[in-house]
Amino acid sequence: MLSRAATAASHSLIVASSTENLELADIYLAGFLDRRVIWKGDKLIDGVPETLDMLRSKGKRLVFVTNNSTKSRKQYGKKFETLGLNVTEEEIFASSFAAAAYLKSIDFPKEKKVYVIGEDGILKELELAGYRYLGGPDDGGKKIDLKPGFLMEHPFSYPNLTRVGAVVVGFDRYFNYYKVQYGTLCIRENPGCLFIATNRDAVTHLTDAQEWAGGGSMVGALCGSTQREPLVVGKPSTFMMDYLANKFGIEKSQICMVGDRLDTDILFGQNGSCKTLLVLSGVTSLSTLQSPKNSIQTDFYTNKISDFLSLKAATV
Known binding-site residue numbers? 235, 260
In whole angstroms, give the CA distance from residue 133 to residue 3.
47
In whole angstroms, give the CA distance from residue 125 to residue 233.
14
DSSP state of 270: H
Q: In the complex, what is the shortest distance from the CB of residue 139 to a copy of itself, in angstroms, rounded to a whole number?
A: 12
Cβ atoms of 278 and 260 within 8 Å: the answer is: yes
Nearer to a copy of itself by Cβ, of 59 and 148: the residue is 148
User: How do 231-232 and 113-117 pair as beta strands?
Assistant: unpaired
Known binding-site residue numbers for Mg(2+)? 260
Q: In the complex, what is the shortest distance from the CB of residue 178 to a copy of itself, in angstroms, rounded to a whole number?
A: 9
Cβ atoms of 301 and 5 within 8 Å: the answer is: yes
Q: In the complex, what is the shortest distance from the CB of residue 221 to a copy of itself, in angstroms, rounded to a whole number?
A: 4
Nearer to a copy of itself by Cβ, of 36 and 61: the residue is 36
Alpha-carbon torsion, ordered 110, 232, 125, 31, to 10 deg: -160
Q: In the complex, what is the shortest distance from the CB of residue 181 to a copy of itself, in angstroms, rounded to a whole number?
A: 5
Positions that interact with a copy of itself (CB under 8 A) = 42, 144, 146-152, 172-177, 180-181, 184-185, 188, 200, 202-203, 206-214, 216-227
In whole angstroms, give the CA distance from residue 257 to residue 266.
7
Nearer to a copy of itself by Cβ, of 5 and 221: the residue is 221
Nearer to a copy of itself by Cβ, of 4 and 228: the residue is 228
